[in-house]
A and B are shown apart, each in its own frame.
Chain A
């Protein structure tokens, strides 16, 4: 097997980034490491001096950290949830997409899950959550659901990865011990395939309710208080919709990047982008519907405190962000994606990037205005994030890119065995399935 990598593989394009990473890869890694090291320094400074180094104050006691927490966890819904839904609905075009989506989830969830800890005034007392935690606090529900989601989604990433690791092991890719260990003695026997399928089936059914619960519970952090703009029954589904929306946009951006960088035009075809972008379009409309109902009911209720927050967003200090959000999340993507002429790859890239930015602004608009408008007449300043908060945001994104690059360096970002399986079997399976949808020939006419 020593010389195996010399043999051309039908999916050589997928193995190429692992076998020949190239010099550019290392330059980017070093660049990211510099940013991350600096972010680490900034964070240690925050640990040393306290949260005073941020721009938060009273009454805006939650800022970038909580916004980014909600945002990153939202992006994480890209992955597991969408890949599980596509697998479960037997969408054949899912094959080159699922892996990428699952990796987003695992990495972003790790980053997002750390944000509440960054936000703590006393991170050294984090163990109090476990030893003195009180189940009545939505924060504890969050700890539980995010841990469950992280566990389920990493396993869900790993299980379908095993046959691919075995391919790399058999080709003698270095480091051999890594692939040897992670492939778990996969030989591709029929029994092993059966077990793998079963495990994947169980996981994808499990992962969907967990994923829905995660963002519902994040919304509960806000909705369980009595604060104007937060105390809303619609928040659970509204957050879940927003999460899936931003998640699809994030996958699309990554797919376009990988297609360009790794020359995957043969795998990620226009049809994949077309299908996913139509999904993005639908989510954009659903998102708008939720936003519309949320604000219209608030406006008609005309409760004075609610209205203060409402006008703060519509025409006050936050109006630029609010209207930018409407453009980024609704006007622009719908305009681009509705028209087949603009639903090209550059068009989809613009729409997806605008949705990612717009969804970040949505989180900003949810967190800050409610805090900035307390019920009692306090003097309120405006929240301006500090250098520390910006750096931790940029650092978080850098960790995501680096994490993704490291994954792509060692593992194929497109599932090789699932593509192979698709080539060999799915045509037959799909034909059979379609035949089963059709009305059976009537016995009487068949008899005549």
Chain B
């Protein structure tokens, strides 16, 4: 089993719904504007602004960027305390109580996907009560990033076990895939031939970010063809 994600850029409108859903789902802290301007915005799912071509044929677009969940993650190699590691289902996971906050993984990640809790995470009044009880709130001084909503996987597994059946394709979907209004984000098991991602990953349009680094990302983009 190898969880992976396909993002169809033909369908993606760049609305940012995935980024918002992710932020709410995973209790990602909302930093003050001053902090945000310093570059301390915390987004597990970020929107990358890509400029293509030059004026007057310039094209600007926004593409979603979760953690790539590499098969050869540069971040787990350098972690001195196993606070980040790749599990047997291919998810590059974070163990917050283990992290010493050295930020080596952030420096080593070629996709720059990790966020750091520079201060104790805080929410505006009222929003604190809206946090998701399934996801731990991180303490100050640790690194965090997209986990492919691993808490949802745990829930789905429990449910499947309770119903004495195997995990079905739609059982486990991360928040971003769930919320995408155009269905551009497809999630599933890359090794399972019955799953949609398996087909899409072999599409001629499929490409990976910074593929030449040999990190083997499990987030696959389907490029636009006009």
Contact = CB atoms under 8 A, between A and B. Distances in A.
Contact of B81 (A128, A371, A377): A128
B101 A122 contact: yes
Given A132-B98, A134-B80, A376 B209 contact: yes
Contacts of A49: 119
A119 B35 CA distance: 19
A419 B110 CA distance: 55
Interface string A63-100: 00000000000000000000000000000000000000
A51 B78 contact: no
B213 interface: yes
A371 B40 contact: no
Please tell me the size bucket of the interface on A.
Answer: 35 or more
A374 B51 contact: no
Please tell me the size bucket of the interface on B.
Answer: 35 or more
A302 B90 CA distance: 34
Interface in B76-131: 77-82, 98-104, 106-108, 110-112, 115-120
Which of B41, B48, B118 counts the most A-chain CB atoms under 10 A from its CB? B118
A139 interface: yes
Contacts of A378: 46, 48, 112
Main SS at interface, chain A: loop
B205 to A, nearest CB: 20
B101 A51 contact: yes
A136 B39 contact: no
Given A50-B141, A137-B78, A139-B80, A121 B117 contact: yes
A133 B141 contact: no
Interface in B48-90: 48-51, 65, 74, 77-82
A122 B98 CA distance: 10
B167 interface: no
Contacts of B116: 51, 58, 61, 121
Interface of B: 35, 37-41, 46, 48-51, 65, 74, 77-82, 98-104, 106-108, 110-112, 115-120, 139-143, 209-210, 213
Given A51-B116, A51-B118, 20 more contacts: A51-B101, A52-B35, A58-B39, A59-B106, A61-B103, A61-B106, A62-B103, A119-B102, A122-B99, A122-B142, A125-B101, A128-B100, A137-B78, A139-B104, A225-B74, A227-B108, A376-B48, A376-B209, A377-B49, A378-B112
23 contacts: A50-B117, A50-B119, A50-B120, A52-B118, A57-B38, A60-B39, A61-B103, A120-B102, A121-B99, A121-B140, A122-B99, A122-B142, A125-B81, A125-B101, A132-B81, A132-B82, A137-B79, A140-B80, A376-B210, A377-B51, A378-B46, A378-B48, A381-B39
